[in-house]
């Protein structure tokens, strides 16, 4: 059993050779489970598992490849970012391994700064609770300005961003679900309004971060979400709320999209709701019982 998972987001979702190369580098050291690329976001999310050492070695190799292949100055995409390896979370598969995840994230962060020469910013539990958005606001130029003004400083690596590579945000977190709902048309206003209704910041679901985005290549608008606590905010309740909001605006939903993998519990909760089985949980699923 692999105790740790990492889900780095790299700023390339169009060039297949680069996406494949980063995956190969990660897979040299850890078990790569999923790659999700999006051309509009121009971003790829890799999911892999391993032990402490495998996770760190894979991240170093993958980020080195990204620095080599991606030029942030030529990058454009609808998702905010500050680096070619934009955000690098380390996740404990089991809650008991949370400290191992934090320790592994710190080791990876230090080595990314020292060995790859990139400015590294700690976020979340190991970074004073600040989220990735804190570092991304205004993009890499604004980040450099804030560093120069003394408003913030990298935790590892140089204080000067390399313009081609940018900075890296590293943290440890609980499993989250990256989940997008696509509207059938390119109605950016509706997507932004619905994102505001569901996200915690504006009084929506606890632990939900959401952005309304327009995806010109796919030809639709999207509510792009991170569901950080799927026990507090059930995925199926969020989807139901989005369906209601869309219907109220006369907007159709094209479908949903999972980025990476979903923790079993969130899928089980949705199944129990649709099948109307009260108190349905992972203990009622054969394969999950065999993991015990």
* One character per residue 28-67, x = contact with its own copies (rule: CB under 8 A): -----xx--------------x------------------
CA-to-CA distance for 167 and 140, rounded, in angstroms? 8
Could you say whether residue 146 binds its own copies (CB under 8 A)? Answer: no
CB of 278 to its own copies, least distance (A): 6
Residues 6+ away with beta carbon under 8 Å from 98: 92, 172, 174
CA-to-CA distance for 218 and 254, rounded, in angstroms? 11
Could you tell me which stretch among 105-113, 126-134, 147-155, 280-288 binds its own copies (CB under 8 A)?
A: 280-288
Could you say whether residue 268 binds its own copies (CB under 8 A)? Answer: yes
Could you say whether residue 261 binds its own copies (CB under 8 A)? Answer: yes
Residue among 11, 146, 145, 155 nearest 76 (CA): 11
CA-to-CA distance for 256 and 85, rounded, in angstroms? 25
Residue 79 known to be catalytic: yes
* One character per residue 147-186, x = contact with its own copies (rule: CB under 8 A): ----------------------------x---x-x-----
> Of 107, 152, 239, 241, which one interacts with its own copies (CB under 8 A)?
239
Catalytic residue among 2, 79, 185, 236: 79
The answer to whether residues 120 and 156 touch, using CB atoms and an 8 Å cutoff, is: yes
Name beta bridge partners: 152: none
Residue with tokens 């209704």: 197
Residue among 259, 211, 208, 180 nearest 7 (CA): 259
Residue with tokens 């059930």: 234
> And the tokens for 55?
């996770």
Q: Known catalytic residues?
A: 79
Q: Could you list the residues that contact its own copies (CB under 8 A)?
A: 1-2, 5, 33-34, 49, 93, 175, 179, 181, 235-236, 239, 253, 255-258, 261-264, 266-268, 270-271, 273-278, 280, 282, 284-291
């Amino acid at each position: 059993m692999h105790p740790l998972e990492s889900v780095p987001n790299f700023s390339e979702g169009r060039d297949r050779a680069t996406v494949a190369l980063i995956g190969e580098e990660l897979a040299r050291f850890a078990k790569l489970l999923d790659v999700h690329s999006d051309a509009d976001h121009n971003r790829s999310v890799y999911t892999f598992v391993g032990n402490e050492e495998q996770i760190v070695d894979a991240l170093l190799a993958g980020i080195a490849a990204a620095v080599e292949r991606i030029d942030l100055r030529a990058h454009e995409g609808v998702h905010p970012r500050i680096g070619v390896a934009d955000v690098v979370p380390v996740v404990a598969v089991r809650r008991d391994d949370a400290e191992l995840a934090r320790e592994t994230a710190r080791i990876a962060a230090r080595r990314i700064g020292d060995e790859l020469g990139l400015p590294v910013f700690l976020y979340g539990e190991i970074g004073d609770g600040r989220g990735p958005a804190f570092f991304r606001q205004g993009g890499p130029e604004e980040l450099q300005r804030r560093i120069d003004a003394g408003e913030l400083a990298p935790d590892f690596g140089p204080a000067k961003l390399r313009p081609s590579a940018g900075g890296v945000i590293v943290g440890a977190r609980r499993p989250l679900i990256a989940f997008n709902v696509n509207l059938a048309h390119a109605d950016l206003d509706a997507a932004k309004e619905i994102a505001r209704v569901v996200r915690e910041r504006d009084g929506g679901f606890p632990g939900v971060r959401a952005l309304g985005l327009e995806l010109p290549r796919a030809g639709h608008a999207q509510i792009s979400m991170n569901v950080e606590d799927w026990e507090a905010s059930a995925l199926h309740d969020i989807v139901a709320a989005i369906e209601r909001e869309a219907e109220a605006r006369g907007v159709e939903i094209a479908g949903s999209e999972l980025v990476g993998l979903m923790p079993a519990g969130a899928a089980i909760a949705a199944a129990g709701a649709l099948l109307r089985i009260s108190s349905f949980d992972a203990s009622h699923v054969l394969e999950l019982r065999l993991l015990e």
